[in-house]
């Protein structure tokens, strides 16, 4: 009996040792697994933050760090960009600029100047982008990137309704013509057409149309959407030619090599187009949609 008792005690002790060993192993393994998981989570989180910080390059990185996007504009070309009664910039450009800024999560810092200084300012790196009803041209594409277009325009002649012999921008022979200096929908086509009596250049469309209204010029060559908005709002008694020339896209101008910034702006524009903003903004400022 005594031998059997000793055997039972030894057996129980053996079982207890096995159980303690199993629990210790499980606890250790569990602890190790938990520590490794926490380490992995921390490492993953750190990688994500690092990727986000290192994701943006060039001007886009500067914009995100600064918290604002610097946009150069003439600020006086309705309906693309012009001041309202509170001296806030509004118009087609302004609406799309806000869409872009919202997409980037930054504020807008407008910088106003003559139209002819916009592109040199962008290429010099003085501004992040330029938005002022800027047409996309082959010449400009040599020096700049352009975003996906957010408007479409064509060259027309603006003149008094009493003038009956102007049917296209080409009908400017022997007339005093007003244009915006440096504009591809004004000065460039007028000079190409030629034959005018005098060509007067202005810093912005507002000045050119003011002289047209006061009889200092006979016709103004400009973009159809600019002319249409002016006639709709304050150009009673004036009209545009039935025919247009040089249909072109209007887009954001930015420096070449700014691939990240271009991609971000394109994404903002494309997303907004999918939501119907392209037609909505055109109707708002022109009373019609763009032809393309």
Asked whether the whole model's pTM tops 0.75, one would answer no
pLDDT, one tens digit per residue, over 133-183 is: 998 989 999 999 999 999 998 899 999 999 999 999 999 999 999 999 998
Q: Using DSSP, state whether 145 is helix, strand or coil.
A: strand
Q: Domain coordinates of the chain in residue numbers?
A: 58-150+251-286, 153-248
CB 168 within 8 A of CB 134: no
Same fold, 58-150+251-286 and 153-248: yes
Share of the chain above pLDDT 70, in %: 80
User: pLDDT per residue over 267-289, tens digit each?
Assistant: 999 999 999 999 999 888 986 67
- CATH classification of 58-150+251-286, choosing from 3.40.50.300, 1.10.3720.10, 3.40.190.10, 1.10.1530.10? 3.40.190.10
> What's the topology of domain 153-248?
D-Maltodextrin-Binding Protein; domain 2 (3.40.190)
Q: What span, in angstroms and rounded, lies between the C-alpha atoms of 252 and 95?
A: 13
Indicate whether 49 pLDDT > 60.
Answer: no
Give the residue from 144, 124, 283 showing the smallest Cα distance to 134: 144
Quick one: pLDDT at residue 178? 98
The average pLDDT across 70-87 equals 93
pLDDT, residue 23, reads 45
Across 66-163, the runs of DSSP E, i.e. the strands, are 68-73, 82-83, 89-90, 107-112, 129-130, 144-146, 151-160
């Amino acid at each position: 009996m005594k031998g059997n008792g000793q055997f039972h005690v030894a057996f129980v002790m053996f079982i207890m040792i096995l159980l303690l060993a199993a629990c210790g192993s499980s606890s250790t393994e569990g602890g190790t697994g938990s520590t490794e998981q926490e380490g992995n989570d921390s490492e993953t989180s750190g990688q994500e933050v690092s990727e986000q910080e290192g994701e943006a390059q060039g001007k886009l990185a500067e914009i995100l760090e600064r918290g604002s996007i610097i946009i150069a504009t003439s600020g006086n070309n309705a309906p693309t960009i012009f001041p309202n009664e509170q001296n806030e910039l509004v118009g087609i450009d302004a609406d799309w600029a806000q869409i872009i800024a919202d997409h980037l999560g930054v504020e807008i810092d407008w910088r106003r100047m003559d139209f002819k200084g916009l592109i040199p300012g962008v290429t010099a790196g003085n501004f992040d982008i330029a938005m002022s009803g800027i047409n996309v041209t082959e010449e400009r594409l040599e020096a700049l990137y352009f975003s996906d277009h957010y408007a479409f325009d064509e060259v027309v002649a603006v003149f008094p309704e009493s003038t009956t012999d102007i049917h296209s921008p080409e009908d400017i022979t022997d007339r005093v013509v007003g244009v915006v200096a440096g504009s591809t929908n004004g000065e460039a086509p007028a000079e190409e057409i030629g034959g005018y009596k005098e060509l007067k250049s202005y810093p912005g469309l507002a000045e050119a149309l003011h002289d047209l209204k006061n009889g200092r010029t006979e016709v103004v060559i400009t973009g159809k959407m600019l002319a249409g908005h002016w006639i709709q709002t304050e150009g009673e008694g004036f009209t545009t030619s039935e025919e247009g020339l040089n249909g072109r896209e209007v887009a954001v101008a930015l420096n070449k090599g700014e691939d990240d910034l271009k991609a971000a702006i394109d994404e903002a524009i494309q997303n907004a187009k999918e939501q119907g903003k392209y037609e909505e903004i055109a109707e708002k400022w022109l009373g019609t949609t763009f032809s393309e």
